[in-house]
Amino acid sequence: MKVHILDDWFDTLRGLPCFERLNDHEVTVWTDHVEDLDILAKRLQEAQVLVLFRERTKVTRALLEKLPNLQLISQRSVYPHVDVPACTDQGVLLCSNMHSGTPSYAAAELTWALIMAGMRDLPAQMASVKAGHWQAGVGKTLRGRQLGLYGYGRIARAVAGYAEAFGMNVVWWSSDEGRSRAQADGARVAPSREAFFADSDVVSIHVRLKPDTRAIITASDFAQMQPGAIFVNTSRAGLIAPGALLEALNAGRPGKAAIDVFDSEPLTDATDPLLAHPNLIATPHIGFVTEDEFDLQFADIFDQVNAYADGAPIHMINPEVWTTAE
């Protein structure tokens, strides 16, 4: 089949072991990002299979209507960037392994790195010594401090393990269902949402972005946080109410934020008010960007392509398309 892979910015996939799974297909890898609908549609005119690099490109009805040869979209995890009803209307099957029970350790590790960077103010310390000024301020020890984890999921539980190894006190907040699971597991749940934000030295959010979780972190949540606290987000920017984090940093509650995700990506405007904020530590959405994580994720994605080519698709999100085709 003619397989097109979008947004492999560093041309990484061809060097991974999993890429051999596409040996029987005609593969085109696009290493840049295109927003223009007409240019994107022209590139993908011959594509029978579209492989997505997480949520880097939105698959809209307008795009799908311009791709007459497309039969399959293969990706991994959640799919808020894909218009599933439009896929169904156009006869395009969406396959996405939801990897139940398997956390992204790469994302958990980056979360911990950002917590460490924020508490020890590593970016400023590094910049100071590189500039010949030696130390720049005083950091904070993790042991004995409180880590608030919002969202009782796989990645958050991995982060909790790191925190416990460092001697932090972990407290949880989540949906009603999530808090019930946490309590059933013997985890410590905050007595209230207000106490969760007010009493935590670090708050890290780990929630999937869905219509009912969009903007769940509000300005009032940030207003509860301590001036010396840090807010960490390696999940999705849309979980934060628009503009609320910038306003919170300007108000000094929390004192710092460390984030890997932005409302608009890739964000390359160095003058963006949030990106340029002196109390923001930022990374360019690299939570899942490791060779190990890529090989794990794209092995699943390429297996979906082969299963479809063999006439036995797996991980179907809109199986009615396949039923109709049969």
Active centre residues (catalytic): 236, 265, 285
3-state class (DSSP) for residue 131: coil
Phi-psi map region of 243: left, alpha, beta (phi>0 left; psi -120 to 50 alpha): left
Q: What are the beta bridge partners of residue 205?
A: 150, 233
Helix, strand, coil distribution of the chain in percent, nearest 5? 35, 15, 45
| DSSP tally for the chain: helices H, then strands E | 12, 11
The DSSP string of 285-320 is S-TT-SHHHHHHHHHHHHHHHHHHHTT---SBSSTH
Cβ-contact 258, 118 below 8 angstroms: yes
For residue 252, what is the DSSP state?
Answer: T
What is the C-alpha radius of gyration for the chain, rounded to an integer number of angstroms? 21
Which H or E run contains 172? strand 169-173
Q: Which of 182, 165, 164 is nearest to 173 (CA)?
A: 182
Distance separating alpha carbons of residues 118 and 217, to the nearest angstrom: 20
